[in-house]
Amino acid sequence: MAKKINPMLGIVGGLFAVLLLFAIIAVVFYPGPTTHEGAVDGDTLLIRYKGTFDNGTVFDSNENSQPYEVLLGEHKSIPGFEKELYGMKAGDRKTFRLAPEDAYPYEPDAVVTFEKDDVIEGLGSEPVVGEEIVYFNGYDMFTGIIVEVTETEVIIDFNLPVAGHYLTFEITILELHKGSGGHH
């Protein structure tokens, strides 16, 4: 005489097999966070970098100073620079080029016209094209370059020297601190 098998046992066994299969797939294809995972929001990176213009002139570097610390997602770095850091790991090296709109766009509103007499009074001398000046508006200090002098006006460009240029960065990730929210 054949034994009767409880039909629920077959259903439970089948469900167990399906769950086991999903668990194996999840572990193999989605291993979750590990120390080898690339940088994401909330991670802190210590970076060595060199920035150059297209002609090769170095405009900034920390090769002989402290590493640059970036907390991803805090948006305190150049937007295009920070975007390039996502997914990187300690020891990774990368070279990338940023367009002005992803780094320092040239701002026409930062070119300001002043009355020549006011500039002479502030400088204590005749303004000269190419001269660097510091302007205090009562709240902040701005550095600018005199770009034009007429009989009655002085035009000063307060854009940063890197504004409007394509910038190339060579970077090395020295350290990656997962979810640290700041390196101490």
Contact present, 59 and 162 (Cβ < 8 Å)? yes
What CATH number labels 108-157?
Answer: 2.40.10.330
What six digits make up the tokens of 175? Answer: 């350290």
**If you compute the radius of gyration of the chain from its CA atoms, what whole number of angstroms results?**
29
Contact present, 92 and 174 (Cβ < 8 Å)? no
Give the bridge partners for 142, in sequence order: 135
The residue assigned the tokens 């060199």 is 50
> pLDDT for 102-137, tens place per residue?
999 999 999 999 999 999 998 999 999 999 999 888
Q: What is the pTM of this model?
A: 0.70
Please tell me the predicted confidence (pLDDT) of residue 59: 96
Domains 44-104+163-177 and 108-157 alike in fold: no
Contact present, 59 and 139 (Cβ < 8 Å)? no
Confidence of residue 62 (pLDDT cuts 50, 70, 90): very high
Q: Where are the domains of the chain?
A: 44-104+163-177, 108-157
Please tell me the predicted confidence (pLDDT) of residue 181: 60
pLDDT at 20 over 70: no
> pLDDT for 130-159, tens place per residue?
999 998 888 999 999 999 999 999 999 999
92, 71, 80: which is closest to 173 by C-alpha?
Answer: 92
- Residues 161-182 have a mean pLDDT of 91
- Residues 18-47 have a mean pLDDT of 62
The yes/no answer on whether domain 44-104+163-177 falls in CATH 3.10.50.40 is: yes
b/e per residue 103-133 (b: at least 16 CB within 10 A): bbeeeeeebeebebeebeeeeeeebeeebeb
Which residues have C-beta within 8 Å of that of residue 90, sequence separation ≥ 6? Answer: 173, 174, 175, 176
